[in-house]
Structure 1
Amino acid sequence: MATTNEPLQLNLGSLRSAMSLTLHTHHASRIWHGRAAAEGRPGIVGLNGYIAQMNKMRRGSEQDDPYSDFWMLRIEDKLDQTKATLQSLREQVDQALASVPPALTLGENLNVQPVKLPLFVNAQLGFAAVYLLADYDDIARKLILAHHTALIDRSTLERWLNEGAHALRSLFSLAQQYRYSGCTRDDFAAKNAAARAALEKFGELPQDVLEGTRRSKFAPPIVRRGLQQRGDGPDAAASPSDEAATTEAPETTAGEDAQA
């Protein structure tokens, strides 16, 4: 058999994994979908809209946009606050359920027809919010059980459900304020027109963020492709439907809106 010194070509593809989120409560399902704007009624962004923003933010960070890095840090802080709020709610409902007498056994109240939503998330900060929604769904189930078994009253049920929902929607609403600046750290170093325009529109940045010494723990490696084309923002690699859905990651999959 003839031998060759040519390198072996493996032609490996990208890694993929099927992921889905199962929700048992209408409260969590509504937070996933959000609400479309209607006459006299503003829209409410859902988890799918938040994930789309996280995908854009990640691409902006990858393109060395310091404002995208700044926003990733803001979202990290907000995620921590939201997690703390949900943890406090969980402790309160667990305390209520602990009042059940030893002679009584309460099983889990699972939906007989839960909704299973496919996930296609590109950004780690998107996954972090998925985990929080799953946590809220679990808390909502326990709250409903506690109310059904007379451990909490109706007003307490509604107050705690609304507190958790408000924390998540506040997170999603903050993410909607993000905008790609269209400039890079090289622009700031050169003090060119793009940097001046970004400063005028978005304001000053903390020095450590501007220098790139402080970035999100989930910030992607910066990809330098020479001179960036103006207007070639984080939407450039996205699908036309990126406003309402998410895109596939190069190495793994994760979250987009789906019909319940």
Structure 2
Amino acid sequence: MADNYRLNIGSLRSDVQLTLHTHHAARIWMGRPKNEQKPGIIGLSGFCSIINRMTRGATQDDPYSDWWMIQLEDKINESDTALKDIDQRLDDVMANLPPAISISNNLSIQPVRLPLYISNPLGFKAVYLLTSYDEIVRRILLAQHVGLIGRRDMELWIDEGAAVLRKLFGLAQIYRYSGACRDDFAANNAKAEAARKMYERHGEIPQDILEGTRRSTFAPPITRGQPENESPEPFSDDIGDGED
């Protein structure tokens, strides 16, 4: 009897909220729109939009989507290491604080709280990097405030951390949905040739990725079917690599 009874259970949901304490981290989240004087700069929200497109492409068996997911996963790990290096330098600086002085965390009296609607683990991994950067900026500002570093070092370290995230976002911007699946490459047809031409300046796709034997840790299941026609995001041609 139980086999004939189907429960109508909805999908699982949870509320996720991001809290940021610095303007520097908030600008990384939002990015900068294009204007007459400066090109636009992609933010973390735009990065997550690209990741969503990439995930759809990987679901449709596009090997280039898988390739870029692997590269982004590697870049996220590299970025995490780079931010931890800055954090270690801050530990060394703060160790010079006299033992008679104790300082609590410097938190904003009015932090920004953002609801997160992210459907991909790589998007969350990028958010974790942003929270690390937010904490690093707070520590840098505190170290400068109490005289442990000068203003020049403060600015350099803050910019160094921002550049780590900008480079990650820049790698994501290169991605384009190829419109081809692995069956097209096996048949060596026109779709496969067009995909190769689209990515030719980035070199040959590794064979194990092309064959599907190597995928990202966070790659979605493949559902073979008619690929969607993806179009570039509105910011694709308007993004610069300059600083805020």
TM-score by length of 2: 0.91
Counterpart position of 1:183? 180
- 1:40 shift after superposition: 2.5
TM-superposition CA deviations, 1:91-141 (whole Å, max 9, x none): 011111111111111011000000001101111111110000000000111
Where does structure 1 lack aligned partners over 5 or more consecutive residues? 236-241, 245-260
CA distance in 2, matches of 1:243, 1:135: 28
Distance 1:151 1:55 in 2: 42
Partners of 2:178 and 2:63 in 1: CA distance: 8
**Alignment RMSD (CA, Å):** 1.6
Alpha-carbon distance in 2 for matches of 1:6, 1:77: 45
Q: Distance in 1 between matches of 2:234 and 2:119?
A: 14
Distance 2:163 2:229 in 1: 31
Report the number of matched residues.
Answer: 231
Q: Which residue of 1 aligns with 2:136?
A: 139
1:221 counterpart residue number: 221
Residues in 2 aligned to 1:47 and 1:94: alpha-carbon distance in whole angstroms: 27
Q: Does structure 2 retain, via aligned residues, the 8 Å contact 1:136–1:164?
A: yes
| Partner SS, residue 109 of structure 1 | coil
Query: How far apart are the structure 2 equivalents of 1:221 and 1:161?
Result: 39
- Which residue of 1 is the match for residue 65 of structure 2? 68
User: Identity over the aligned pairs, expressed in percent?
Assistant: 52
Q: Deviations over 1:50-91 (max 9, x none)?
A: 000011111110110000001011111211221111000000
Sort the Cα spacing of 1:97 and 1:192 in 2 relative to 1 into closer, same or farther, 3 A.
same
The residue identity in structure 2 corresponding to 1:54 is I
Is 2:229 aligned against 1:233? yes
Residues 160-203 of structure 1, C-alpha deviation per residue, up to 9 Å, x if partnerless?
00000011011111111100000100111111111111112223
C-alpha distance 224-157 of structure 1, shift in aligned 2 (>3 A): same
Superposed, which structure 2 residues align to 1:1-260 within 5 Å?
7-203=4-200, 204-225=204-225, 228-229=226-227, 232-233=228-229
Structure 1 CA distance, aligned partners of 2:11 and 2:127?
A: 23
Q: Give the counterpart letter for 2:45 in structure 1.
A: N
Question: Contact 1:23–1:115 at 8 Å: present in 2 too?
Answer: yes
Task: Give 5+ residue unaligned stretches, structure 2.
Answer: 236-244
Deviation at 1:5, TM superposition (A): 7.1
In the TM superposition, structure 1's runs of 4+ consecutive aligned residues that sit over 6 Å from their partners are: none
Q: Is the 8 A contact 1:52 1:243 kept in 2?
A: no
State the distance in 2 between where 1:71 and 1:144 align.
35
CA distance in 2, matches of 1:32, 1:202: 28
Q: Cα offset for 1:18? A: 0.1
One-letter code of the match for 1:104? I
Question: In structure 2, how many angstroms separate the alpha carbons of the residues matched to 1:140 and 1:164?
Answer: 8
Q: Which structure has more helix as a fraction of its residues?
A: 2
Q: Separation in 1 of the partners of 2:214 and 2:230?
A: 21
